[in-house]
Amino acid sequence: MQVDLVKRHCFPVYWNGENRRVLRGHWFARKGGLDWLPLREDVAEQLEIAYHSQVWHRRMFQPSGLFAARVDLQGSTLGLHALFTGEDDTWEAWLNIDASGFSNIVSMSGNGIKLRRGYSASHSAKPTQDELRQWKEEEMDDYCSQVPVQHLVFMVHGIGQRLEKSNLVDDVGNFRHITMSLAEQHLTSHQRGTQRVLFIPCQWRKGLKLSGETAVEKITVDGVRGLRVMLSATAHDVLYYMSPIYCQDIINSVSNQLNRLYLKFLKRNPGYDGKVSIYGHSLGSVLSYDILCHQENLSSPFPMDWMYKEHPKSEESSRDMKHVLSNNLEGNNSNIVSEAKDIVDPVDEEMITERSTLLQEDGAC
């Protein structure tokens, strides 16, 4: 995920997805006695000013009988205010409103809702499932931000990705969690702390339009539409790939997606010198195998064989050992490189030109 702090949203980098809001959790309101929800930033900023001025030292009796300091909060909700009570450095605050209409910030119940400054993790003896999930996600985020990537794995899917409930991104996410659990069981803390594996989904079928699909749609009988839709989303991909008409289109789609994802990764990791692997499932394994078999410069297809041979310890041979696929660019095999030159820094242009082509497309069919 990439975060835009100016626009306050985040979005996925390696696949298409919806933007998500980014909230600055500074002041929180308790909802239903269970969760602490962040307040809007405009409200939180006004509360922060009141806190730094220690407004609770200017308490007075309120119409409700409470001895507190009132802070009127400017915004879209009329009558919104906070009540501060306490002495010296001990204080409490509640959010309240003079009239109805508070649903756009947080649900109101009773005479007000409790406020808290700053985030505090729950220390309950029996944490809820949501709390456990949140802890796991935070641990994963901390781990990914501290440990460098030394192995890049592209996940190439097979048939069925056109089905309504199929989601390669979720499947790769589940696969990532499984591998993390296995790593915790079988790897030492030193091994986990020095390198990690990054799994990136390759959605080659998404966005690929074949002319045969339109013909199949036109001749589909309404009485068997459900069955035909299921077959079109699954078994037809195998038939399309076996056809000399559409075989190269599918190969091009897989190769272009892999090269595009590889270029994006290099832009964010310009000094990367680790391994690159392809993990294929079902039809994806056949596509990956055929593409690799037709590479003109395939470096070290069997790394173990390379290790038992004597090679000069030059910089070039060391680089060839680490990369599974050839990174040399010849002619105009990829349009991605020419497009990348317009968006990268001049100092990185030479590096990307040499390494951005992961696969060649020609000759697979």
Annotated catalytic residues are 282
Cα diameter, the chain: 88
Given a contact cutoff of 8 angstroms between Cβ atoms, the answer to whether 30 and 36 are in contact is: yes
3-state SS record for 235-264: HHHHHHHHCCCCHHHHHHHHHHHHHHHHHH
Residue 196: count of CB within 10 angstroms of its CB: 19
Show Cβ contacts of residue 317 under 8 Å, excluding neighbours closer than 6 positions.
311
What separation in angstroms does the CA of 229 have from each of 77, 233, 243? 50, 6, 20
Q: HSE on the CB side for 112, CA within 13 Å?
A: 18
| Tokens of residue 261, six digits | 């994802």
Contacts of 162-168 with CB under 8 Å at 24 or more apart are: 162/205, 162/232, 162/233, 162/234, 163/230, 163/233, 163/234, 168/201, 168/203
Look up residue 183 and give its two tokens: 């790593």
d(CA 298, CA 12): 31
Count other C-beta atoms under 10 Å from residue 309's C-beta. 6
Exposure string for 141-153, b = 16+ CB within 10 A, e = fewer: eeeeeeeebeebb
How long is the chain? 365
